[in-house]
Amino acid sequence: MAEIPTPTTGYSAPSGERPLGVTILAVLEFIAAILGFIGGIGLVALGAVIPFLGAFAAIFGIVVILLALIDFIIGYGLWTLKSWAWMLALVFNIINAILNLIFFDIISLIINIIIILYLQQGDIKSRFR
């Protein structure tokens, strides 16, 4: 019988082993979550102390806390190689790249593009189940 040729480049079966780059991204998400929680709580507290900007600071603080919660969830998903975390990380980095482009934050834009390209690699994409 003739063998069916299979592609050997650009794909590897999921091994369950987390790549170093994904580990680094997960840890950075956890750090961002911790800093976001601290910053959000600080803004809510500032809103309680300063009556002039109180409502704005409190609302902004709550939004920051919610984004920190999303960072933590993405970090957990990346750490455990969940497929939904790959998609969320990709979507949030694309959104951040667009915002960085709008606000001319070139360094952050470059970092987001690197992360997007890294997550799109076949070997990395195949690790998420």
Q: Give the Cα separation of 84 and 76 in Å (integer).
A: 11
Q: Give the Cα separation of 120 and 129 in Å (integer).
A: 15
Residue in this structure with the two tokens 């980095």, named with its chain if needed = 93
Mean pLDDT (the chain, rounded):
87
**Given this model, what pLDDT does residue 1 score?**
52
Evaluate if pTM is beyond 0.85.
no
DSSP 120: T
Cβ atoms of 93 and 120 within 8 Å: the answer is: no
Give residue limits of the domains in the chain: 20-117
pLDDT, tens digit (0-9, with 9 covering 90-100), for 7-62: 554 544 455 689 999 999 999 999 999 999 999 999 999 888 887 778 888 899 99
Amino acid at 125: K
Phi-psi region of 104 (alpha: psi -120 to 50; beta: other; left: phi over 0): left
